Amino acid sequence: MNSIKQISTVTLIGSGNVATALGLSLLDNGIKITEIFSPNMSNAKALADKTNCGYVNNIGDLITTSDLYIIAVPDKAISNIISKLKNIDGIIVHTSGSQSIDVFDNSNFNYAVFYPLQTFTKGKLVGFKDVPICIESPNKATSDLLIQLANKISTKVVTLNSIQRQYLHLTAVTVSNFTNLLYTLSNELLDEKGIDFSLLHPLIKETASKLNEVNPSEAQTGPAKRNDTQTINKHLEILQNYPEFKEIYKLLSDQITKKYHG
Amino acid sequence: MNSIKQISTVTLIGSGNVATALGLSLLDNGIKITEIFSPNMSNAKALADKTNCGYVNNIGDLITTSDLYIIAVPDKAISNIISKLKNIDGIIVHTSGSQSIDVFDNSNFNYAVFYPLQTFTKGKLVGFKDVPICIESPNKATSDLLIQLANKISTKVVTLNSIQRQYLHLTAVTVSNFTNLLYTLSNELLDEKGIDFSLLHPLIKETASKLNEVNPSEAQTGPAKRNDTQTINKHLEILQNYPEFKEIYKLLSDQITKKYHG
């Protein structure tokens, strides 16, 4: 293990949404991206072009002298990537919310987790300043170096262990992916009825931004919160030809009613 | 029916979140609030104090000369209120997303619906400028007067019939009330584990604001979208002691998987 004072050079393993967002943000903040690895040659080239570096699609060809290697690949590919990395002194991190740090157990690397808590979509650039970055490492010096690096791109850097990160990831899925399904079902229904989905945008934004001022359980409103069975039943009737939507409407209304009215 | 050129005076029937938000916004935009009615004397007085007018708790005592009467009471109380209003020439509107305009059928009033599409919570002031206001009236002159009034407080005024408004209200419940339940479950779980819920705020905001740039179905991410059953099963295992949360997690993940992977 080398004993660097700060991380200056980074290799990106992966070329998807997370690798791209991280790479561009690090570059913007004075970090040199040394190389991109991706099995997908055209994705690798696209990201390499954006970050002014070279790319390889054979992991054995990677430059071995970077300060940091960021693994940003699908969860199930992480352990395979780790097993193929050789002769690397730099820090190696994965960026997954749900993978434990134990995935590095059989390696001799200087390793850590560097988890940016955000939803990254192609074609939508996310600024990193507000993105929480969650760090975990068994090595204090490594953790300090990563915190120092993370502070360059984000104002919200925390250390969390693997168990805590798992809970955070589970709730991130809940407030983001599941919420987005609710948006999608609503969008599809309104489209079909010729009603402009963007009428809901201010409500969606207000529902999210309320959380700055009140606790979500205090912010709960709506028919189920009021135990207004008449409206709920009317909505269930409207949804009779939309069985998936109806099932979600019923379960969530039932749970709200139960929570606030026993 | 009188033939006024514009609405200058408004009586509020109700003193809850919607009445308060509407009353303050109308007042701010040069409309005179003439009186508040509410069966709850202290709520009526509180809103009357804020809007510089008097209040009554007997509906028979209402001033009968206002240009507009806004009924902002729980849905199930609307028809009873309408049946008790007497000798009124002004326009009478209700503000409900789910009540049809038919609730006025047996009255001789000049009536309409004036539905502000937003979530109003006590203690959190909502600016009306971005709040869509949905107007419906069988009478063109009445509709025009209400559109003119609505344009004073909002930049997004639309006309929708009762069927359309019902669909819009159903999806409003979905993207706001159900989403807020997802926030609540997540908040409770993280609190219990000593993890700061505010770490999720940037993700929640980004999930909402993405909709300005991409369609929600294009914005879908997460384990279910990737058909990552390993992560989904791990999350379901974590939730085994949280049966309500687990049921929601399972249903929504199943639906996302089915939607994107057949």
Statement: A9-160 belongs to CATH 3.40.50.360:
no
Alpha helix (H) residue ranges in chain B: 17-28, 41-50, 78-84, 140-153, 162-172, 179-192, 201-209, 216-219, 229-238, 243-261
Average pLDDT estimate for A74-96 = 94
Average pLDDT over residues A77-87: 94
- Chain A residues whose CB is inside 8 A of the B209 CB are 205
- Closest-CA residue of B relative to A205 is B208
Q: Give residue-wise pLDDT tens across range B7-27.
A: 999 999 999 989 999 999 999
Is A123's pLDDT higher than 70? Answer: no
> Which residues in chain A are contacts of B196 at CB distance < 8 A?
158
pLDDT class for A3, splitting at 50, 70, 90? confident
Q: What is the pLDDT of chain A when averaged over all its residues?
A: 94
pLDDT tens for B76-86 read 899 999 999 99
The tens digit of pLDDT for each residue in B188-206 reads 999 999 999 999 999 999 9
pLDDT at A120: 78
Residue scoring higher pLDDT (A126 or A258): A258
The mean pLDDT value for A225-246 works out to 95
Residue A14 has pLDDT above 70, yes or no: yes
Task: Find out if CATH 1.10.20.10 is the number for domain B166-261.
Answer: no
B180 part of contact set with chain A, CB < 8 Å = yes
- B33 touches B53 (CB < 8 A): yes
Q: Is the pLDDT of residue B94 over 70?
A: yes
Domain ranges of chain B: 9-160, 166-261
User: Do the Cβ atoms of A22 and A146 come closer than 8 Å?
Assistant: no
3-class DSSP assignment, residue A110: strand
Question: Is a pLDDT exceeding 60 seen at residue A53?
Answer: yes
Tell me the residues of chain B between 77 and 136 that have a Cβ less than 8 Å away from chain A.
98, 117-121, 123-124, 126, 130-132, 134
Q: What share of chain B is helix, strand, coil (3-state, %, to 5)?
A: 50, 15, 35
Among all chains, which residue has been given the structure tokens 């709920």?
A: A232
pLDDT for position A106: 83
Contact B249 A214 (CB under 8 A): no
For the cut 80, the answer to whether the pLDDT of residue A54 exceeds it is: yes
Can you give the pLDDT at residue A125? 66
Give tens-digit pLDDT for A127-170: 789 999 999 999 999 999 999 999 999 999 999 999 999 999 99
> What ipTM did this prediction achieve?
0.91
